[in-house]
Amino acid sequence: MTTRGAWDGFKIYDVLITCPFAKTVVSSKTILWDRCTFGSTWNPFGNQNGDGFGDCSFGSATPLRFCTTEDGYDAVTNPNACNNGSNALPVAKGAVYHSCQSQNQTKIYQRENWRIPLFTEMFSVIRCSETNSGVITGEDGCTAVGDETKYAGATADPILFPNAVADHYWGPQTFPAGGDIQVTTVNFGPGNEAYLNKDLPAYVRCVSDL
């Protein structure tokens, strides 16, 4: 609850309720999403989508590099420096990993199990071009996932995820080809599974399992 409203002797009025979470179900697993891209925070009085909706206008979305030379990364000799030396393991070191871990340390929204979402989970919040009608439906996930499956004009649901960036968002897993130098991402520009070199910047949205 953002404001408790006022009592006129008969009823309470002008109550304002906004929520910094969004919830989806992916493969029978319920996931709680931080509605704001890492670096920005929830503004309950923000009005990007209209009065009363709230938005992510506190702070700004911060691009992060999955793994850097400071983390021990070397594209030739140590491409898996941030995922415990194996392309089969998730990220466990570096700025991307610590972004969601920092939310655990500060117990943001009283939760301590924030993590990087899988790319298949990120697809659950894409609104495909044929459903980008502006109608609030909550879950308009695209029906197929793959690097050859692109949805022109796709975006993170603009109501559930205000101020989302039309760019790469990191998943936690190395793309196991090409020398292990890339990570599987979702690019919310063209709306498809994508791949990005680990030492390039992209964005993070944290999730929490319910």
Give pLDDT tens digits for 42-63.
Answer: 998 887 665 567 889 999 999 9
Half-sphere exposure of 148 (CA within 13 A, CB side): 0
Residue 82 — pLDDT band, cuts 50, 70, 90? very high
Percent of the chain residues past pLDDT 90, beyond the cut: 48
Write down the mean pLDDT value for the chain: 81
User: Which pTM was predicted?
Assistant: 0.82
Cβ–Cβ under 8 Å, residues 65 and 201: yes
Name 78's bridge partners.
74
Cβ–Cβ under 8 Å, residues 183 and 170: yes
Count of other CB atoms within 10 angstroms of residue 60: 12
Cβ–Cβ under 8 Å, residues 79 and 179: yes
> How much is the pLDDT for 127?
64
Decide: helix, strand or coil at residue 15: coil
Residue 28 — pLDDT band, cuts 50, 70, 90? confident
d(CA 203, CA 128): 20
Residue 124 vs residue 38, higher pLDDT: 38
Is 18 a residue whose pLDDT tops 90? Answer: no
Closest CA to 160 of 130, 188, 190: 188
Q: Residue for token digits 């029906």?
A: 143
Q: How far is CA 174 from CA 44, 89, 93, 97, 123, in A?
A: 36, 8, 13, 13, 17
Signed CA dihedral, 95, 100, 106, 112: sign only: negative
